Amino acid sequence: MDDTPDVLVRRWFEELWNQGREDTIDRMMAPGAQIFGLGGAKPIFGPEGFKPFFRQFRGAFPDIRITVQRTITQGEFVAAYCNVKGTHLGDSLGTPATMRVVAFSGITIARVVNGRLVEGWNVFDFLTCYQQIGLLPPL
Hey, what domains does the chain have and what are their CATH numbers? 5-132 (3.10.450.50)
Average pLDDT over residues 111-119: 97
Beta-sheet strand order (sheet of 77-87): 44-45, 29-36, 116-124, 101-113, 77-87, 65-74
Residue 39 has pLDDT above 80, yes or no: no
Q: Which tops the pLDDT comparison, 41 or 36?
A: 36
pTM exceeds 0.85, yes or no: yes
Would you state the pLDDT for residue 1? 45
Would you state the pLDDT for residue 2? 66
Distance in angstroms (rounded) separating the CA atoms of residues 124 and 119: 16
